[in-house]
C-alpha cells in the first residue's frame, strides 16, 4: 500500500472541490529558446522540484500532471498577504498562479498543477530527471499521441481490453484499476503505446477511473500538452522494461 499516495489523492480531490543519449529524443533538433528545463528528484517515487521557488522561497514542491489547480499549504501561503503567487523555474522564467489553500499534512509544501502551464506543454524525462516547460507545445515526432478531455489520460490495454487511464504523477505505483474486489493487488497483462509490458503487478481500488503512475510512466518520455489536450508517449530505450 501507498498511504501517502492515498493522502495526495484525497487532498487533490478536496482541492478540486474547493474551487549522445540526448540525440535520440524526439525533438533533439528543435530550437531550445522556448524551453525551460527544471530538475526533479524522486522521493518515494514522487516528483519534487527542489530548484524551484515560490515567492522566492525553496520548499518541497510536488509536480502533479493531473491536478487542475495548484495547491499551497497554509504555512507557505501565510508568508505573504497576496493571493497570487509566483513559481520561479529559474532566474529568468517565472509563472504566476492563484492556488487553492489546503493543509497538505506534511506531504508537500505545494502541489504544482496544470494551471501553472496554461496552454503550453511539459515533458517528463525520467532518465535525465528533467521536466521541460515547452512554450511552443508538444513535439509529436516519434510519439504515440492520445487526445483527452478533462484530466490528461492515455489508453492502456489491460488483458486485451483498452482502458482509459489518467496520467497521474502523484501516484508512485504502476497502475490503479477500478475494481469491486477484496484483493488489493494482482497481476494483469499490459500494453501501452505499442509496447508490450507483459505481466505487471497492479493495485485495485474503489476509484472511478484507472490511474497510471510513475512506475510505468518512467518507461516512457511523457509529454502533456494542456493547450492541445494531448498526451504523447515515446518508449525510452535508455530505460529497461
User: What gap in Å lies between CA 90 and CA 202, rounded to an integer?
Assistant: 37
Strands 185-192 and 195-205 turn out to be: antiparallel
End-to-end CA distance of the chain: 22
Res 15 pLDDT > 70: no
pTM for this prediction: 0.86
Q: Where in the chain is the domain with CATH 2.40.70.10?
A: 144-235
Residue 216's nearest CA partner among 196, 1, 122 is 196
Task: Give residue-wise pLDDT tens across range 38-51.
Answer: 999 999 999 999 99
pLDDT value at position 21?
A: 42
Task: Give residue-wise pLDDT tens across range 210-238.
Answer: 999 999 999 999 999 999 999 999 999 99
User: What is the greatest pairwise CA distance in the chain?
Assistant: 53
Could you give the 3-state DSSP secondary structure of residue 234? strand
Res 26 pLDDT > 60: no
pLDDT tier, 133 (very low <50, low <70, confident <90, very high otherwise): very high
Report the CATH fold assignment for 3-134. Answer: Cathepsin D, subunit A; domain 1 (2.40.70)
User: What gap in Å lies between CA 63 and CA 21, rounded to an integer?
Assistant: 25
Residue 139's nearest CA partner among 214, 31, 47, 20 is 31
The answer to whether the beta carbons of residues 172 and 155 sit under 8 Å apart is: no
- Non-local (6+) Cβ contacts of 17 within 8 A are none
What integer best gives the mean pLDDT of the chain?
90
Res 64 pLDDT > 70: yes
How many residues does this entry show for the chain? 241
Task: Give residue-wise pLDDT tens across range 139-195.
Answer: 999 999 999 999 999 999 999 999 999 999 999 999 999 987 778 999 999 999 999
Instruction: Name which residue leads in pLDDT, 181 or 90.
Output: 90
User: What gap in Å lies between CA 207 and CA 225, rounded to an integer?
Assistant: 25
CATH architecture of 144-235: Beta Barrel (2.40)
Res 32 pLDDT > 60: no
pLDDT value at position 31?
A: 46
Res 27 pLDDT > 90: no
pLDDT tier, 89 (very low <50, low <70, confident <90, very high otherwise): very high
Amino acid at each position: 500500500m501507498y498511504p501517502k499516495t492515498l493522502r495526495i489523492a484525497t487532498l487533490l480531490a478536496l482541492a478540486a472541490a474547493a474551487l549522445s543519449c540526448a540525440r535520440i529524443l524526439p525533438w533533439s533538433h528543435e530550437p531550445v529558446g522556448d524551453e525551460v528545463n527544471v530538475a526533479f528528484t524522486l522521493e518515494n517515487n514522487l516528483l519534487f522540484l527542489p530548484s524551484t521557488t515560490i515567492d522566492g522561497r525553496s520548499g518541497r514542491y510536488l509536480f502533479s500532471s493531473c491536478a487542475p489547480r495548484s495547491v499551497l499549504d497554509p504555512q507557505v501561503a501565510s508568508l505573504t498577504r497576496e493571493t497570487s503567487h509566483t513559481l520561479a523555474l529559474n532566474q529568468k522564467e517565472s509563472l504566476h498562479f492563484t492556488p487553492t489553500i489546503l493543509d497538505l499534512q506534511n506531504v508537500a509544501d505545494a502541489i504544482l498543477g496544470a494551471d501553472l502551464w496554461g496552454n503550453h506543454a511539459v515533458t517528463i524525462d525520467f532518465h535525465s530527471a528533467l521536466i521541460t516547460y515547452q512554450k511552443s507545445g508538444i513535439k509529436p515526432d516519434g510519439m504515440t499521441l492520445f487526445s483527452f478531455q478533462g484530466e490528461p489520460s492515455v489508453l492502456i490495454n489491460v488483458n486485451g481490453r483498452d482502458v482509459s487511464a489518467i496520467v497521474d504523477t502523484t501516484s508512485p505505483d504502476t497502475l490503479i484499476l477500478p475494481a469491486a474486489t477484496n484483493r488489493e493487488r494482482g497481476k494483469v497483462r499490459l500494453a501501452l503505446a505499442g509496447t508490450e509490458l507483459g505481466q505487471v503487478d497492479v493495485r485495485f481500488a474503489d476509484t472511478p477511473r484507472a490511474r497510471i503512475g510513475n512506475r510505468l510512466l518512467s518507461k516512457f518520455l511523457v509529454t502533456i500538452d494542456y493547450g492541445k489536450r494531448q498526451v504523447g508517449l515515446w518508449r525510452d530505450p535508455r530505460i529497461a522494461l
